[in-house]
Amino acid sequence: MTEAIRAKAGTLLVVDKQIPLLKEIVRTLRAANFVVLEADSEAKAINLAASYAESIDLLLTDSELLGMSGLSLPDTLRQTRPELQVMLFCGEIVIGYFGCAVVQNPLTPAKLVEMINAVLHPAEKSQSTLSARSAV
Whether 67 maps to a domain, the answer reads: yes
User: Can you give the residue range of the structural domain that contains 115?
Assistant: 6-134
Confidence at residue 132, expressed as pLDDT on a 0 to 100 scale: 40
The full DSSP string for 47-100 is HHHHH--S---EEEEESEETTEETTHHHHHHHTT-TT-EEEEEESSS----TTE
Q: Report whether 63 contacts 90 (CB < 8 A).
A: yes
How high is the pLDDT of residue 69?
54
Number of domains in the chain: 1
Q: What is the mean pLDDT of residues 27-55?
A: 94
Residue 1 placed within a domain: no
pLDDT of 129 over the 50 cut: no
| Model pLDDT, residue 105 | 65
Does some domain include residue 41? yes
The residues facing 69 across adjacent strands are 64
Please check whether residue 31 lies inside any domain of the structure: yes
pLDDT in tens, 45-94: 999 999 999 999 999 987 766 455 556 888 899 999 999 988 877 654 44
Query: Regarding predicted confidence, which is higher, 2 or 89?
Result: 89
Q: Label residue 18 exposed, middle or buried (CB < 10 Å: 0-12, 13-18, 19+).
A: exposed
Dihedral pair phi/psi, residue 85, rounded to 5°: -85, 155
**Residue 43: which CATH number?**
3.40.50.2300
Residue 21's pLDDT band, with cuts at 50, 70 and 90, is confident
Q: For residue 54, what pLDDT is reported?
A: 94
How confident is the model over 100-125, as pLDDT tens digits?
Answer: 666 666 678 888 888 888 888 877 65
Q: Does residue 100 lie in a domain region?
A: yes
- Range with lowest mean pLDDT among 5-19, 23-37, 40-54, 76-90: 5-19
Which H helix or E strand runs over 128? helix 122-134
Say if 26 falls within a structural domain. Answer: yes
Cα–Cα distance, 132 to 25 (Å, whole number): 31
Evaluate whether residue 113 is within a structural domain: yes
